Each structure stands twice: as structure tokens, then as C-alpha cells.
Amino acid sequence: MCIAIYKPKDKLINKATLKRCYDSNPDGAGFMYAQSKKLNIQKGFFDFDKFYEAYKKHEAKKCIIHFRIKTHGKIDETNCHPFHINDALGFVHNGTISGFGNNIHSDTIQFNEAILQKLVGKWGNLSLFEDPIVNLIEGRIGYSKLIMLDRHGNHKIFNEDKGQWDGGVWYSNTSYKPKPKYEQSQFAWDKYKWNTGSSYRSNPAKLTHSVSPEPIAQAVLAIGDECQVVEPIVDHMTQATIDVGEYVEIVACNKNGTVDIVTDTDSTETPFIFYNVSANKLMKEDYDFDFDY
């Protein structure tokens, strides 16, 4: 799902928090800042220590930070964020934008080339900071979030209300938070085998027996949380399905105790919203599970 971060000047993010972001989104890191009327982008970090060494020199500045987890496109420097819209304006993206992306280039790259670059080419950089254009872009990107920064240090967060502020820093989702310990009970689950190897790329573990997570109360879920599907989900109107093991993002918590989710997996070309899904069919991605082997 990635995580995008807006850090104001003189606000500091501790190393442990950044490491959690990297471990949860390990497919390339980068950051950008403005200095002396120049937009500076450093990206293509596939090692946390190298990222942190570069970032540490600029941590007191206003910075936009991004940690990627692959959906569309290759895992390489080209697909790492941030991206230049032009020499004076850049951005990062968290989410998936429908209609864009392929096996080579991410949806972010294609959205930049097809939409953002053409907008500023015709109307100038400031057009992306104007309310009518902001509203149009937010309507197009759905539950995605964008952060813009120009060479003068002006910034704009698109879909700001879908992320959260914590300690004066804005995060696009909760993958920066410590993973709470969660007591996992085990019992037979005859129909499905669940393999946690796809859940944590940085520390994969395989289960040798059938297990099923405890149901998750809807109250512990929040908009922006990443979850893994533990029971098949079917949209009864369209017959669209999500299989066990796929990843989704919470986009709404409903009064009836259900949640709305959006797909965002390597196997799904276009994200799809599923409404009124039982929280019991989801496992929150930021839990640490302790199993007996």
C-alpha cells in the first residue's frame, strides 16, 4: 500500500518510526525537500541504513517521505517515489489509481504523465494548488493520497482527511505505528491454509498447520488500515471476489459494524470497492502474531 509522509520544518521523526515504515513497505524509499529555490529529490533506496544516512542530513527541513510496496510496475529506482512533475514540482502517492499502471511502470508514473504533467504544462504549477483542480484530482484518485511540493517549499496534501496527523506529522496510513502484540488462538481450519510468508516480506514465516485468526472487532479498525483477507469476500451484486491472503485497505467504518474496503494487490489490475464487509473476514496487517510451531 506504501506510506507517504509530510514532515513540517523542525519536526523530527525518530529512527524507529522510519524503520517501521521501511519494514512495512520495503520496495524502495525516497524523500524530497526544497532548498535555495530548488526541488531536491533523493530516491531509490533499497537498504534502510542507506536511506537513513541520506535523510538524516536533512531531517530538520520540511520533507516529503515515501516508502513503497509494489502494486504495479517493477521494483526499481524508476518506480520509486518521489517523482518530478517538472523541475520545480514533485509529488508522492499512496494508493492505487484505477486505469493506470502495468508490469513495467506504476500507476503513479502513468497518472503523472497522463494527467499531472499535462495540467501544469497548460495551466502552470500553481494550478495543482487551486481548489477546483484539487477537487477534480481528489475525485479521480478515489481513496489514494498525494503530497505535492514545489521548489519554494509550498506543499499540498490531497485527501488529507484520509490520513492522520500524529505529533505534528501527517501519515497516509497507520503502517508507521508500532505493531501491537496480539494473542493468537489456534484451531482447525479445514478449508484454507494460511501462509504468512506473503504478509511480512522482511521477516517471512511459514505455518505448518492450519490456523484461523481470532475475529477482529470493527472497533479496532480505522480508515487507512491495511488488512489481509482470512475468509473469501464476495460482492453479491457484481460477483467480484477477494481470495484468502490478498490485501485490502479500510476506506470506511460503518455504523452497522461492517467496513468498506478497497483492493490493492499485485494480482488486481483495477482496485474495486467492497461495501459492508464483516470485520471478521480481515486480519489487521499491523499485528504481530505469535505462533507455536
Looking up residue 109, the CATH number of its domain turns out to be 3.60.20.10
What pLDDT score does 101 carry? 85
Pair 161, 190 in one domain? no
* Residue 75 domain flag: yes
Pair 121, 94 in one domain? yes
pTM: 0.68
Instruction: Say how far apart CA 78 and CA 27 lie, in whole Å.
Output: 12
Out of 15-19, 67-71, 78-82, least confident range: 67-71
Pair 202, 284 in one domain? yes
Q: What is the mean pLDDT of the chain?
A: 81
β-bridge mates for residue 67, sequence order: 3, 29
Pair 71, 150 in one domain? yes
What pLDDT score does 211 carry? 39
Most distant CA atoms of the chain, gap in Å: 62
Out of 113-127, 193-207, 230-244, 254-268, least confident range: 193-207
* Residue 176 domain flag: no
Pair 103, 56 in one domain? yes
Pair 112, 226 in one domain? no
Domain carrying residue 256: 181-289
Pair 113, 195 in one domain? no
* Residue 237 domain flag: yes
Distance from chain centroid for Cα 106: 13
Count of structural domains within the chain = 2
- Residue from 222, 220, 250, 228 nearest 164 by CA: 222
The model's pLDDT over 234-290, given as tens digits with 9 standing for 90+, comes to: 877 667 788 888 888 887 777 777 888 887 644 445 567 788 888 888 887 554 433
* Residue 268 domain flag: yes
In the listed set 171, 201, 233, which residue is the last one of a domain according to the structure?
A: 171
What pLDDT score does 270 carry? 55
- As given in the structure block, the three cell numbers for residue 70 are 509494489
What pLDDT score does 98 carry? 83
The model's pLDDT over 10-51, given as tens digits with 9 standing for 90+, comes to: 999 999 999 999 998 999 999 999 999 999 999 999 999 999
